[in-house]
Every structure is written in structure tokens, then in C-alpha cells.
């Protein structure tokens, strides 16, 4: 692939990443406001991560929540997504650097490292926010029907493994940028 096509592809990936960030956050809000969107049984199944797990079990009740409970659900489920959005934003910035031809810059390595850290933080916050959100969703239920849920899923382990791989690759890229910088000083 020539340099021009690689720059165009990187620019497109930057725009696609920005679109993903916006869609992810809007979709999370939408499934709380319109729970039928998130329910796969009788709706469209557009749930996302933490919201999907909790709305699926309580879709009929979520539709009847008072506005403050729905708003709290949106906020609590958005906390892990904000960490992920931060990582995706760094990925977007990395693609923008690549579009400008900055392949071996230390800034590119830093952006990639921040992507890895954000993915790991997303998994951790998802794990921590689930019990809070489950209590929030079931707080108006009668005694004996309130829940505290906690789950560790296979995708969480995969995401942590990918985050570790990204961090190692970022370190390699940073080292490559140092070598490239040294080589430029000799020329």
C-alpha cells in the first residue's frame, strides 16, 4: 500500500472512530430512554455492555422508571463507556498522526499506550459499576427482589489481554521512535 492510500485509510479510520464514540454513547442513552431498543426478546437488541445486561432482565420495569432513576442509570452505565471513549479518542488521534505520516513518533506511541490503559480501565469500571447499577435499577423493588449483581465474563478477559498486548506494542513503538530519532541525528 502506498503512502497516499495509507494516509487516506488512516483519515477514514479516524472519522470512523469518532463516529463509533458518538454512536456508542448515544445508543447507551437511547436504550435507557427506550428500553425496547435494548431488549432482544421483543425489541431490536441494541443494548450495549453494562446497560444490555441490566436492561435485558428488567426491560418492562425500566420503561416505568421515574426520570431521575433513568438518568441515574444513564450516568452509571456511561462511566465505563467514558473510559472506553477516551481510549477510542486516543486511537483516533493515533490515526490522525498516521495520516500525517508520523509513524514512528513518540506521540504515536503515547496515544497507543493510552488506548491500552483505557481499555483496561473500561473493564475495571464495568466490573465496579455493575453492582452499583444493579442496586440502582432494583432499588424500588420490594424487599427480597432487590439485587446486587457482579459478573466476570470471557469478553472481559479478552479485553484485558488485548489491553496488555496494546501496551506492549506501544512500548515497542516508543522504542522504535527512539531508534528512528537516533538514526535521524546520524544522517
Supply the DSSP string of 99-156, one letter for each residue: HTT-TT-HHHHHHHHHHHHHHHHHHHHHHHHHHHHHHHHHTTSPTTS--------HHH
pLDDT, residue 181, reads: 76
What's the helix, strand, coil split of the chain in %, to 5?
Answer: 80, 0, 20
CA distance 11 to 175: 25
Please give the average per-residue pLDDT across 144-152, as a whole number.
82
Grid-cell match 498522526, residue found: 97
Position with higher pLDDT, 6 vs 54: 6
pTM of the model: 0.86
Please give the average per-residue pLDDT across 38-44, as a whole number.
56
Neighbouring residues of 69: CB distance < 8 A, sequence distance ≥ 6: 136, 137, 139, 140
pLDDT, residue 39, reads: 57
CA distance 183 to 177: 10
Q: pLDDT by residue (tens digit) across 75-128?
A: 999 999 999 999 999 999 999 999 998 888 889 999 999 999 999 999 999 999
Is the Cβ–Cβ distance between 112 and 94 less than 8 Å? yes
% of the chain beyond a pLDDT of 90: 55
Please give the average per-residue pLDDT across 124-148, as a whole number.
88
Q: Is 2 exposed, middle or buried (0-12, 13-18, 19+ CB in 10 A)?
A: exposed
Please give the average per-residue pLDDT across 49-61, as a whole number.
68
Number of domains in the chain: 1
Cell of 96: 490522525
User: What range defines the domain where residue 93 resides?
Assistant: 3-186
Neighbouring residues of 97: CB distance < 8 A, sequence distance ≥ 6: 105, 107, 108, 111
Amino acid at each position: 500500500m502506498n503512502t497516499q492510500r495509507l494516509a487516506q485509510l488512516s483519515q477514514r479510520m479516524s472519522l470512523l472512530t469518532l463516529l463509533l464514540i458518538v454512536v456508542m454513547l448515544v445508543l447507551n442513552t437511547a436504550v435507557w430512554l427506550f428500553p425496547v431498543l435494548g431488549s432482544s426478546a421483543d425489541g431490536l437488541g441494541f443494548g450495549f455492555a453494562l446497560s444490555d445486561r441490566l436492561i435485558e432482565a428488567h426491560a418492562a420495569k425500566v420503561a416505568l422508571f421515574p426520570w431521575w432513576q433513568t438518568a441515574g442509570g444513564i450516568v452509571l452505565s456511561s462511566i465505563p463507556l467514558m473510559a472506553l471513549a477516551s481510549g477510542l479518542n486516543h486511537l483516533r488521534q493515533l490515526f490522525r498522526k498516521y495520516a500525517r505520516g508520523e509513524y514512528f513518533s513518540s506521540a504515536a506511541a503515547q496515544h497507543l499506550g493510552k488506548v491500552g490503559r483505557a481499555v483496561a480501565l473500561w473493564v475495571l469500571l464495568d466490573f465496579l459499576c455493575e453492582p452499583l447499577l444493579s442496586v440502582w435499577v432494583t432499588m424500588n423493588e420490594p424487599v427480597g427482589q432487590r439485587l446486587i449483581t457482579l459478573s466476570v465474563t470471557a469478553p472481559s478477559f479478552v479485553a484485558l489481554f488485548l489491553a496488555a498486548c496494546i501496551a506492549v506494542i506501544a512500548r515497542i513503538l516508543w522504542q522504535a521512535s527512539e531508534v528512528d530519532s537516533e538514526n535521524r541525528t546520524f544522517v
